[in-house]
Structure 1
Amino acid sequence: MRTTLLIIALAMFVSCKPETKKEQKTENNNEVLQPISDSDLETAIIYEANIRQYSPEGTFNEFTKDIPKLKELGVKIIWLMPIYPISTTKSKGTLGSYYAISDYTKVNPEFGEITDVENLIKTAHKNGMYVILDWVANHTGWDHVWLKEHPEYYTKNEKGEITHTVGTDWTDVADLNYDNLEMRAEMLKDMKYWVEELDVDGFRCDVAGMVPVDFWEHTVAELKKVKPIFMLAEAWEPNLMENAFDMAYGWDTHHKMNHIAQGKENVKNWDDRMIQIDTMYQSDDILMNFITNHDENSWNGTVKERLGAASEVMLALAYCAPGMPLIYSGQEYDMDKRLLFFEKDTIIKTKGKVWPLMQKLAELKLSNQALHGGKNAASYTKIKTSSPEDILIFSRQKGQDKITFMANLSKMEVAFTTEKEGVSVDYFTNEKVTFSKDKTQTLKAWEYKILID
């Protein structure tokens, strides 16, 4: 009798058990994209999509048409800049800032409808890519419903007036008060909506360091109960990656690239930065490498303005150094203009030198473990030269795969010797190159090589 009851109980348990996640099923005999995993991050390239400026139409649908093309560039993660309605009160410019949000659970009608976002995400998933949304947790626009219904959610000055974030010129947004636990709960609820209802794969979090770490830790833990997600912090603080974020911005790495290209710093400063990373971050922390993004392009200058003749070598370095490389909308088309931020602008999508180079770099990153840049990244080893201020050489290795990156990071031709020995294959030319300690090598200004060892 007990055996019979046990069988019945087990049957009832199985019948009532929640269905396994739909990502694990198949449709029409085609595998559905599995939730993002640590292994995906090893070879991932992230793409920042500026929907407003990506096309003349500035719509979700126009961007979605090009998602299959991004596979040519090895893109694994698509980061959508804020897609939500923009406040008009105190707004800047004609169209306002993406980061002055009036509703966290709706979409900007200029870009399209919620069904268009659903289609975008499904298209990305069908092409083996994940989609993360830009999330602005530090502040809202002045039209947000919380300002009327829950003014206690916001920071107030001595007069009891809601204020913008202190110490900034962000007058188009109202600062949120994270001492208010109800606001925290509502923020989590709105983030969870996108994961549960639209199947997004994570978030890029604006000025993440300005929001309490304990909020992120609790929120991410709750979101991961829905499904595995990827979290990117627009921040550099290591403590954000202890229990909340997978990746942070490599801001100081980016600044080194700018300064070296401009002659303000040299290879020794790069070496110091690599040592700093080892001392500041844990081995499974990921930093995002970039030579441009929406802030840099609009406010600090184009790639050519900031990097000049060093543009190509710095792009290659962003792929070969430890971390995950970023592509910003238009970068793949050799974009040489500052996109307007508060107005409509358009990227001219004409392929030049950058697209094929990105393709070649992506092929190597996807096929060679020595460029793994995730939580189990390939090693990084500095190789000494007779010209330590101008010549950068390092090797990266994982398993049996090994590559060497060699570059002249100066505006003059340099002859040098190096401790590197043996025969390598030039990745771009497929020619064999022999190295020995007493053999002089020469690199032209800003010339670089990626060698397969």
Structure 2
Amino acid sequence: MKKSYLTVLISTLLLTTACRNTQTDQTEASDTDTTMKGAPPAPDWAKNATIYEVNTRQFSRDGNFKAVEAQLPRLKEMGVDIVWLMPIYPISQKNRKGTLGSPYAITDYKTLNPDYGTLADFKSLVNRAHALGLRIILDWVPNHTGWDHIWIKQHPDWYTKINGKMTVPIDPKSGKPTDWADVADLNYDNPDMRRGMIDAMQYWVKECGIDGYRCDVAGFVPNDFWAEVRPQLDKIKTVFMLSEWEDEPAQFKNCFNMNYGWSMHNMMKAIAKGSHTADKIDSLREANQKRFPAWYYQMLFTQNHDENTHNGTLIESFGPAADAFIVLSSTLEGMPLVYNGMESNLNKRLAFFEKDTIVWGNYAKSDFFKALLTLKHRNRALWNGMAGGKAVKIPTDHDDKVYAFSRQRDADRIIVLLNLSDKPQTARLTGDGYTGTYTDVFSHQPVEMKPEMIVTLKPWEYRVMTN
């Protein structure tokens, strides 16, 4: 159980956290299952879906739901399926960071930030999305609230306390307080708080017909809560659940359909900066396949709001390798994420606590993303989880620089060749299973793949071929 240290000192908390982690580990004993037995429900539309993140505040000059709704047809045309909205709730004023505060410091789970519009405006956005065949998932922050959340006064016993005082969130790994000074930690030992959280999560599914949640710092919340909330949501409709976490394989059994591919993101950045070689991708993939149940898949990304704001823009993180790694994250097993603005070459770190509108320009990268996202819809080899095909390495005589693989599902196949280095590479493809006639996804030209063929690739060049 989480946070049973309500009246004890930090030192006692360390022991409690260690105990909780041991209990969690015991739930992971059968994570090597090779069937779908034990997998959470999944909506059928998720099998070949792609995802797009929207920061409503920065998405337009108006910064509201109506402006997002106006762009939905463009996102649909680009190949987006799921629109993930960063938190849309009122923002806490107490201990606020910056001018406008963090959208992750919430004052009421069941109301809307008035800057974004009315409930009618939000329902209109959801209805328009559904009419276009898009899905809406909301960012949910279950571990903590703002310091002036309505529960602070109504239910002070719903919060973690140390020496009788509410506290900032506690990192479950270290047992130490975080530096998240604008939020207060919720106590999951309190069954009434759990019921209140479940009720709030059900509200948006019932009232507005949303399609699921991206759950913030999901590993800070105990697994038994996720097992508790999932069936309560699915009673209303089968939802799609995304965990902002990677260190908890059991989440794929008790609630979540997808988690964050943080390790792959960090691997890609390291290769782009020259500190890792391309062949290290294989060892990471193999480790994940042993670690997670057979039906797992991850959200793969080169940017998201945290990365963009705190660690760097796409160019800062990947330099001239950016497009190559977008291609990789769109064709390996997993669901590709497009962060808002990427289709217009977003070249700045969007401020987190201030108004900082995206400069859209002419959507210069829209066709690039459209080619990749629509390929995922059409080619079953690229579908998510067990609906798709496993990436099979095509060996080369330059595996430290050239990453090549195929994926196949039934009669559908793709071939991906990437030069993941800053030097030209000439490599010989070996092995089998890749020969045949294909179409290059970007040039639309026919390509004949032959055994033992030689390929020459410019620095960071990529080729994607489909049959």
Q: Distance in 1 between matches of 2:181 and 2:386?
A: 38
Deviates more, 1:42-51 or 1:419-428: 419-428
2:353 is equivalent to residue 360 of structure 1: no
CA RMSD of aligned residues (A): 1.4
Q: 2:257 matched to which residue of 1?
A: 246
2:432 is equivalent to residue 428 of structure 1: no
For 1:267, what is the secondary structure of its paired residue? Answer: coil
For 2:387, what is the secondary structure of its paired residue? Answer: coil
8 Å CA contact 1:153, 1:176 repeated in 2: yes
Q: Distance in 2 between matches of 1:352 and 1:182?
A: 48
**1:206 alignment partner, one of 198, 216, 222:** 216
Q: 1:284 matched to which residue of 2?
A: 295
Q: Structure 2 length normalisation: TM-score? A: 0.87
8 Å CA contact 1:43, 1:374 repeated in 2: no
2:406 is equivalent to residue 395 of structure 1: yes
Q: Distance in 2 between matches of 1:44 and 1:80?
A: 16
8 Å CA contact 2:78, 2:370 repeated in 1: yes
2:185 is equivalent to residue 181 of structure 1: no
Q: Distance in 1 between matches of 2:386 and 2:231?
A: 18
Q: 1:32 matched to which residue of 2?
A: none
For 1:360, what is the secondary structure of its paired residue? Answer: helix
For 2:358, what is the secondary structure of its paired residue? Answer: coil
One-letter amino acid matched to 1:446: W
Q: Distance in 2 between matches of 1:154 and 1:427?
A: 53
8 Å CA contact 1:406, 1:449 repeated in 2: yes
Q: 2:392 matched to which residue of 1?
A: 381
Q: 2:466 matched to which residue of 1?
A: 452
Q: How far apart are residue 37 of structure 1 and its match?
A: 5.3
8 Å CA contact 2:404, 2:416 repeated in 1: yes
Q: How far apart are residue 345 of structure 1 and its match?
A: 0.7
Q: 1:279 to 1:122 in 2, by over 3 A?
A: same
- The gaps in structure 2 that reach 5 residues or longer are 1-40, 171-176
Deviations 1:276-308 (A, max 9, x none): 121111221120011100000000000011001
Q: 1:274 matched to which residue of 2?
A: 285
Q: 1:37 to 1:219 in 2, by over 3 A?
A: closer
Q: Distance in 1 between matches of 2:386 and 2:124?
A: 31
Q: Distance in 2 between matches of 1:430 and 1:76?
A: 24
Q: 1:224 matched to which residue of 2?
A: 234
Q: 1:6 matched to which residue of 2?
A: none
Q: 1:155 to 1:37 in 2, by over 3 A?
A: closer
Deviations 1:406-426 (A, max 9, x none): 010000001110115444332
Aligned residue pairs total: 417
One-letter amino acid matched to 2:68: F
Q: How far apart are residue 226 of structure 1 and its match?
A: 1.0
For 2:375, what is the secondary structure of its paired residue? Answer: helix
For 1:75, what is the secondary structure of its paired residue? Answer: coil
Q: Distance in 2 between matches of 1:223 and 1:424?
A: 43
For 1:335, what is the secondary structure of its paired residue? Answer: coil
Q: How far apart are residue 375 of structure 1 and its match?
A: 4.2
**1:343 alignment partner, one of 351, 354, 378:** 354
Q: Distance in 2 between matches of 1:67 and 1:184?
A: 34
Q: 1:263 matched to which residue of 2?
A: 274
Computing the radius of gyration from Cα coordinates, the structure with the larger value is: 1
Deviations 1:21-55 (A, max 9, x none): xxxxxxxxxxxxxxx95431222111111100000
For 2:165, what is the secondary structure of its paired residue? Answer: coil
8 Å CA contact 1:164, 1:171 repeated in 2: yes
Q: Distance in 2 between matches of 1:132 and 1:241?
A: 18
**1:191 alignment partner, one of 186, 201, 208:** 201
8 Å CA contact 2:46, 2:240 repeated in 1: no
Q: 1:422 to 1:198 in 2, by over 3 A?
A: closer
Q: Structure 1 length normalisation: TM-score? A: 0.90
Q: 1:89 matched to which residue of 2?
A: 94
Q: Distance in 2 between matches of 1:146 and 1:352?
A: 43
8 Å CA contact 2:439, 2:447 repeated in 1: yes
Deviates more, 1:276-285 or 1:169-178: 276-285
8 Å CA contact 1:41, 1:375 repeated in 2: no
Q: Distance in 1 between matches of 2:355 and 2:429?
A: 50
One-letter amino acid matched to 1:119: S
2:121 is equivalent to residue 121 of structure 1: no
Deviations 1:43-87 (A, max 9, x none): 211111110000011111111111111111111111110000000
Q: How does 1:150-165 map to 2 (within 5 A)?
A: 150-157=155-162, 159-165=163-169
One-letter amino acid matched to 2:178: T
Q: How far apart are residue 359 of structure 1 and its match?
A: 1.0
Q: Distance in 1 between matches of 2:58 and 2:441?
A: 35
Q: 1:137 matched to which residue of 2?
A: 142
Q: How far apart are residue 365 of structure 1 and its match?
A: 1.2
Q: Work out which structure has the larger RCO, using CA pairs closer than 8 Å and 6 or more positions apart in sequence.
A: 2
8 Å CA contact 1:38, 1:374 repeated in 2: no
